[in-house]
Amino acid sequence: MLSVGGGRSAVCRAVIATSIVWLLIDVVILFYYLDPSTSQQQPFPEDNRILNRARRIEPLPPAAQHDSDPDAHPIQPEKQEKQVYPVDKETANQLRKLMETQAFGPGYHGQGGTGVTVPEDKKTIKEKRFLENQFNVVASEMISVNRTLPDYRSDACRTSGNNLKTAGMPKTSIIIVFHNEAWTTLLRTLHSVINRSPRHLLEEIILVDDKSDRDYLVKPLDSYIKMFPIPIHLVHLENRSGLIRARLTGSEMAKGKILLFLDAHVEVTDGWLEPLVSRVAEDRKRVVAPIIDVISDDTFEYVTASETTWGGFNWHLNFRWYAVPKRELNRRGSDRSMPIQTPTIAGGLFAIDKQFFYDIGSYDEGMQVWGGENLEISFRVWMCGGSLEIHPCSRVGHVFRKQTPYTFPGGTAKVIHHNAARTAEVWMDEYKAFFYKMVPAARNVEAGDVSERKKLRETLQCKSFKWYLENIYPEAPLPADFRSLGAIVNRFTEKCVDTNGKKDGQAPGIQACHGAGGNQAWSLTGKGEIRSDDLCLSSGHVYQIGSELKLERCSVSKINVKHVFVFDDQAGTLLHKKTGKCVTGADQRVTLDECGLGRKDQMWQLEGYQSP
């Protein structure tokens, strides 16, 4: 005979077990609303949970994972008996709390890619929680993880997509690395990928947790992803490894023929996957990135980016977006669906053949944490026989943050300089001097042993960086042909021309020489430009005697006559070719004045000058 205490204990255990089972059923039911179109027709009835508990759905069995027409829209989960995954009480409670802050169906904010405004009574908590991830977590929680997005593609891309046959295309492993990612942005990434990707092209999704310390990214996430209708593998790294090594962990696990790297705070759009897979399948040495649209870090509004921008870089070896030059637009003609051949990619989102990824050396494991790996792989792909593209028919929104929420061992600058220095030492040949002149602090950072990477370059018989500048990126701020690199020093005052940190349209000045490069690093190019990164010395729009020289954005195609100078090494004069006047250092100003024989304020020394 059971005691009264024992009976109560048994009843309590039964109640807890029953509650956990119903919780899991609730979770699975919510996945009925994975597809936005389904959600629109059947809003989630918040006030009818008892009836919802009677509905049971299961991830698709293997036999049902392929539509009879492989080019049809991705199939949806079916209602079936669910498999109960074991979950402990603590995890169940965590999941319940997380899902209370999580919207699934329509009727929530942000539908159609619109932004949201946080109510006044939540402004304080918004500002506090913004620091968690350097974006508006409160706004993200107001938006459905299944929110609808318009089809942002051009008419040409929609037509191209409708005609694209995906039968027989290789499967893709999607690799997403995260560290302390917000719950709703990570889930919105997963839901959007599954909602808007043909199921037969997805081999798996691999999540690599780079040593997060937030509880919800462990057991609750482990339990949540089991409800999805495709394989999702979650790896928790024991030590903080950084993006590069974490991605390598994911790529080593991948079963798909194509690897597709994504960030953890993105939303993919209609037709995003097929163009990427198609281009890589056609040429295994082709690396393809989508157009990266902007998701506001404040309102989470989806804002489309230009279809005519490509990736470049500056003397700091910072990735930059620039307008696609006329020569590339001419190559594409009037076809808006044709991919853009780009000198570099942003690095967060791209597709690559798995075997080619390893053939050309995957990632440089000597790099630390994050930063610079995108330029390194961009140079390597082009110089070692591959190509890079941005596909205008594939659009992925990305939450762009104004600063990183993460800390770096030794500081952010040290890590960034370390990675950039490795890129410069291995791939840039004599042009690495531009980086060190602009970022002298990088000389004091240990780049580590790069012998293996140099050996890789030799084994692959990769081309020179000069070839890259001349054939792939002639519009680069680094001139393929240059006469000098360093300071412009007055021979008598020993003072230097300095950008003074000014920008396009502003005037440079004269300052005491410090020998550290940076603002005093200039290059006289073979075309006669005097460059500091992508800014050129110019006579300005209106010229008159004694007027100050200006900084202007250098031309990327046809040379601007206002930017052309001729240096006489013997006399020390810098003659502005169009006006016939000489560069003059007057007090702290840089002007154009009548040339005078023996004028000390017009006599210059160009560091590192070599006559043609």
Per-residue pLDDT, 71: 35
> Which of 42-56, 206-220, 227-241, 545-559 has the weakest average pLDDT?
42-56
Per-residue pLDDT, 334: 84
* Distance in angstroms (rounded) separating the CA atoms of residues 10 and 8: 5
Over residues 338-358, the mean pLDDT reads 97
Within 10 Å of residue 270's Cβ, how many Cβ atoms? Answer: 17
Over residues 327-333, the mean pLDDT reads 93
pLDDT tens figures, 389-404: 999 999 999 999 877 7
418 is in an annotated binding site: no
Is-contact 489 583, C-beta < 8 A?
no
Instruction: Report if residue 462 sits inside a domain.
Output: no
* The pLDDT of residue 267 is above 90: yes
* Distance in angstroms (rounded) separating the CA atoms of residues 167 and 410: 49
265 is in an annotated binding site: yes
Pseudo-torsion of CA 380, 382, 386, 387, nearest 10°? 130
32 is in an annotated binding site: no
Instruction: Report if residue 553 sits inside a domain.
Output: yes
* The pLDDT of residue 9 is above 60: no
Over residues 347-353, the mean pLDDT reads 96
Instruction: Report if residue 137 sits inside a domain.
Output: no
Instruction: Report if residue 372 sits inside a domain.
Output: no
Over residues 273-285, the mean pLDDT reads 98
576 is in an annotated binding site: no
* The pLDDT of residue 189 is above 90: yes
* Distance in angstroms (rounded) separating the CA atoms of residues 597 and 416: 48
Instruction: Report if residue 301 sits inside a domain.
Output: no
* Distance in angstroms (rounded) separating the CA atoms of residues 528 and 531: 9
For residue 598, give its domain range: 488-606
pLDDT tens figures, 45-86: 332 332 232 222 223 233 233 333 333 333 333 332 333 344
Handedness of CA 225, 227, 232, 234 (dihedral sign): positive
Strand arrangement, sheet containing 573-576: 565-568, 573-576, 581-586, 589-593, 509-512, 495-498, 488-490, 604-606
Specify the CATH number for the domain of residue 499. Answer: 2.80.10.50
Instruction: Report if residue 522 sits inside a domain.
Output: yes
310 is in an annotated binding site: no
Per-residue pLDDT, 107: 60
- What is the pTM (predicted TM-score) of this model? 0.84
Instruction: Report if residue 350 sits inside a domain.
Output: no
Instruction: Report if residue 63 sits inside a domain.
Output: no
Per-residue pLDDT, 8: 45
183 is in an annotated binding site: no
Query: E-strand spans in 343-383?
Result: 350-353
Over residues 418-439, the mean pLDDT reads 97
* Distance in angstroms (rounded) separating the CA atoms of residues 312 and 375: 9
For the chain, what is the domain count?
1
240 is in an annotated binding site: yes
Q: Is 317 left (phi over 0), alpha (psi -120 to 50) or beta?
A: left
Q: Which residues contact 358 (CB under 8 A, 6 or more apart)?
A: none
Per-residue pLDDT, 129: 84
* The pLDDT of residue 100 is above 80: no
363 is in an annotated binding site: no
* Distance in angstroms (rounded) separating the CA atoms of residues 237 and 240: 7
Q: Which residue has tokens 């940190």?
A: 501
**More confidently predicted of 399 and 7:** 399
